[in-house]
Amino acid sequence: MTALPTFAAPGPKRELEEGETFTPRFGPDGLITAVAVDADTGAVLMLAHMNAESLARTLATGEVWYWSRSRGELWHKGATSGQIQTLVEMRVDCDQDALLLRVRVGGDGGCCHTGRRDCFYRGVVYDAESGAVKLVPHAS
């Protein structure tokens, strides 16, 4: 494999917000939030997390890697399902603590482990009269 990039520690606020140096701000758990969207439609597909190694592998390979919090291991998205996410563009937010990944999905085009196209297939509805909060199907 190609040498993986490394990331410098974040600098002053002005450099974070206006500079040209990519210095991702990983949280205390060593993770940064990553939102994957369809590169062609802009539809939100999933939210996951990356550590420094998965972020570096993503940049080096052009295929998206995440950190699985539930399994405690690197996760090459699609390695077993065929739903490989090919990175089209990566953006970072203003204070470099969240990533937006524009991707194209291989295989059947799904992203969710439930077999759906995306992970956001339910809406949250609050009934003020009863005080109930429930989930309802949402067309993706």
User: Which regions in the chain score pLDDT beneath 70?
Assistant: 1, 139-140
Q: Which two tokens stand for residue 127?
A: 């009934």
Query: Which tokens hold the place of 19?
Result: 């500079």
Q: Give the model's pLDDT for residue 111.
A: 86
Measured CA distances, 66 to 14, 72, 76, 96 (Å) = 28, 11, 6, 17
pLDDT attached to residue 87: 98
Note the pLDDT of residue 29.
97
Cβ–Cβ < 8 Å for 108, 123: no
pTM of the predicted structure, to 2 decimals: 0.89
Distance between first and last Cα of the chain: 36
Long-range Cβ contact pairs of 1-9 (< 8 A, separation 24 or more)? 1/60, 1/61, 2/60, 2/61, 3/60, 4/53, 4/56, 4/57, 4/59, 4/60, 5/56, 5/59, 5/60, 6/52, 6/56, 7/52, 7/55, 7/56
